[in-house]
């Protein structure tokens, strides 16, 4: 096993060192693009590829970017649907960050003539869930 594979295998997104204090009291938006997401179809085992877009207004915490990269890379050998992967990412980040607003989009590459985009967002101010 290569060092990157070892790092991904032992990684735990729940470790507190993956989330840093937000030192800024003003509202600002963090936008992150992760263009190399990969998971496996739970039915066929074929690989699914996507670009993940994360946008959030932090509250008290922000995610450390290497931690986010490792978490996203941890899906590479998982059998998980498009819907479940985006909802899991959203749920984990929402639980740990408690952002003022967050939106996650999974733009999955076409496979079998089907292009899927999964979006989930929450706006604490307007109560969109």
Percent composition of the chain: helix, strand, coil (DSSP 3-state, to 5) = 30, 40, 35
Catalytic residue numbers, as ranges: 41, 48
Task: Return the SS3 of 26.
Answer: coil
Which of 29-42 are b and which e, b meaning 16 or more Cβ less than 10 Å from the residue's Cβ? ebeeebeebbbbee
């Amino acid at each position: 096993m290569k060092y990157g594979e070892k790092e991904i295998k032992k990684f735990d997104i729940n470790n507190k060192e993956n989330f840093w204090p937000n030192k800024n009291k003003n509202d600002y938006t963090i936008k992150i693009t992760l263009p190399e997401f990969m998971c496996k179809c739970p039915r066929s085992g074929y690989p699914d590829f996507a670009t993940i877009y994360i946008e959030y207004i932090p509250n008290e915490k922000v995610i450390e970017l290497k931690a986010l990269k490792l978490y996203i890379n941890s899906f590479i050998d998982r059998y998980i649907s498009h819907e479940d992967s985006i909802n899991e990412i959203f749920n984990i980040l929402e639980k740990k960050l408690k952002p003022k607003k967050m939106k996650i989009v999974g733009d999955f590459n076409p496979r079998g003539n089907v292009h899927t985009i999964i979006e989930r967002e929450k706006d604490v101010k307007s109560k969109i869930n």
